[in-house]
Structure 1
């Protein structure tokens, strides 16, 4: 806290009484030291281990009971020679905003605490204190780091929702099958919910980097599901799984390179990569076990070959294939253009 003026105890001695009692400044100082002293007597062993035994005198603020000296068998206490009061100290500096005295209170949170939760609790508490304060005392927020985090989380939520909608729309436009898209939705839901449970068990907190990792992995999860759905719909087996496993292993291997970075650089990326690794691992398990089982209850029929296509459509496909083959051949001969 900055800007506040501390309070202090002010003790005023009666010079005449001190002089008549023959009390010196050293005796008064020694009386205070003795009254609030703390001594270590030794060590003792308990069930919790070794503990230090301390002797501590009274620590209350009843200065009047402090014995100062013994004069002819009469104990003179501080109340007999002095008075005291608790008052605001003289300011050593001024902190002002727009000409008004200002006190700045900085609130820090523990590394394991949730920034948004703590910020919300502090704001609620300050609002309660404001209600009971005089009208001339107002409270305001000079800087709130949770606003940036909240804004970024809002952007990530929107991007994640758009990512899911665009991917599902793309899947539906390509296959034009509600059953196909329903399987994708079920697969994605099971993957995300299971991943959230693993995050909880692994102690991975949900923050900006983990949400970004979830968003990035959604496309890979859907790709894995599409490959297995298409293969199982055509061949009724799981022989596509080794190819899916190899692709996922390549991605995971590339992400593991982050662990080789210096500690300072990889600090914010560790949770990011572990979220993606967990999601990819779950997508492999789900593609091998869940999708084939689900397709037994929700069969998907895919159009195959050139059955049902008109001659005009076939000619259009052939022209496009010839154009694409020519483009690929030109690209191979002129690699320098792309390099």
Structure 2
């Protein structure tokens, strides 16, 4: 088989050269299109279902949310395992799919099953899918440098302006905000007054909810002009919330929120803080990369978007990068590229010194760029990024790449020497070959004359 392949290649030399040139050009294009990252993505092919039900204990979350979801998610196609975790007010379900399952196909199957499992959950509890990112998707962390704004204003700026701008960058799965205070109206009721006025807490909740909406009316025409009637009841300030009626007391006097409690503007309860280098609390976000994206190209797009967003920030507010993987990517790839060049130069020198014949050495050395270029074709075909592990593997394989060429070249020299010696002893090209028992002097490769067909 190998002998026939070699003979076929010798009879079609120009076709082999054309094929090698095509592979090199294709490989050079694949190098430019290859996805670049610092570390390989070895995370499992998983879909996360997140459910929030604040104020409930972990045992309630396990019994009423996590267990129904886990049992109903079992049996999905290409699912290897289903894992659940419950904590205070939150539930997580991790669905691990087979490696050959497309991530977006898997998310569609999970959404179909969630539509059925929704009826098994308590009223008002809605599970959601986690972002389509991986465990190594956190490619960029940033904070807002805003000396003139408090933590609540910084968080509002992050949630309502910066976050929406960065989420439009192609390849970004999510921008997760951290730090600061999320502003909210807080109503603190007095239990004694509730008992005195015979009001329950659900009545207070219903009153606030029903008075924080908008109702539409009908259209009527007068003097040839159409009018739309609607009522706007959205709460705009604390005074409006304080004057929300809960019920009507005897005598037609309404019982207001301020009669049974106090209203204040404050931040949502937090379980931790974000401190930056011991200088105090900070507000920022985490850019999560979408599954299968080019980390290096994504970071460049995000930075360009940050420059555009900076034009709309208040005076004195700017971005400060806390974690930027592009530096690690450039250092890792640059180190591997330097190592590749060093190894190619070393191998070239060794081949030239041992063979001492530039044409033979050239036939061996030309395999290195062609083989490396072909490797990037396979990396792109299997969706493997150019990271420190894959590039290191290519660097280590350079010695193996030239081994077969050296062996084949030396074997060709040996056979040519045997043939030349046989012709000299037999009196010409048609002479008999030397006997097996007769010793044959094999010329050195450095003094061997060029052979022509």
Length-normalised TM-score, structure 2: 0.36
The higher relative CO (CA closer than 8 Å, separation ≥ 6) is in: 2
- Specify which structure has the higher proportion of strand: 2
- Specify which structure has the higher proportion of helix: 1
